[in-house]
Structure 1
């Protein structure tokens, strides 16, 4: 099934992807590989902005489950996303791509504060913008951040790079024979609780008519293929 072409996209990367084959932290080789794939997408003419999770370093909801105050744990998770964003920025700049990190939590010594109009201007000048520190508020995930920034940047689509090749009716890593969908409707995702992204993120994309494309970022070269309308992925839109 052919998918539409998108110009300006927001790429959502899970923090776990940056671990590569490690069990924790940041794998420089994996980050460099991701940077090369992002560069290929840029060379193909796409405008890109990026949101990176922090689960490879610290996950707020996990900290809350272990006894931390939820708000404090979420702030700790936001700081983890800043570390990942700086690592990705470094890898992108090493291969010659102008990149800016904007943080929802101001930290002027390491990156810019998040200013929507400035971010739009960066993208208009051909720079890649990485949005760090989530929304700047606890109780929101980086999925919701990705949906929010995609709407603010007037993106044509939100591409979510995960460790599976689309959306399934059950966890394919746990359930043998789980069914993969080529396309879905936002309301079906919410009604069936398919866990593409958080419900708030899905609803935000639905209300702003921003398609969500879920694909496996761990397969080398897959980002370029999916952007070109090939590869294996699931697209979620307002139409079945």
Structure 2
């Protein structure tokens, strides 16, 4: 799939973002002046060693953390100027999250886990429809303990897409999965991008996954070192794991 995201206005954009964590007299520079943009309808993969700043950047993009300096813009809105309540509303209305560990409520069924989000969203899908989109229409009333790791991760993706977010932020969504299950999970993410135009930023240590993206951002020592662009996106089933 050819894509020219630079012809569009960025949906998320950072300007010279830094993040410093302090522990006593020790300062850890997690991000060092990062300029990043995510465009509508695209998939971006973030690659880099542990400690390179990928997760910190993702958390700041999603409003889970604040930068030490710099600006973050959602379209023409400056997120760094928002108070905590407004930032929470931004996350609830516009962002879905998928993490390596599924964060499902063990005492709730798949349907009920998704409903946790749909009950507070403005224009959500039905939980049943979201679960059907990730291939789990036959597992609606199963509890997490009755599902495989891949199925649980697909429930977390259904929960993320059920509120129809404009942005989906994924931190190692296949990190705990075998290759066959990981491909199934990636298919669910790609379908969300294709069917709803959801912009996706995805962290992975698996360099093969970069081939499903429009762009690949390489990070090291809190900085973006370079960017690659794929002329054509591969299907997850074509990726060398």
- Please say whether Structure 1 and Structure 2 have the same fold, judged by a TM-score greater than 0.5: no
Give the TM-score of the pair, scaled to structure 1: 0.32
Rg (Cα) greater in structure: 2
Give the TM-score of the pair, scaled to structure 2: 0.32
Q: Which one has more relative contact order, counting CA pairs under 8 Å at least 6 apart?
A: 2
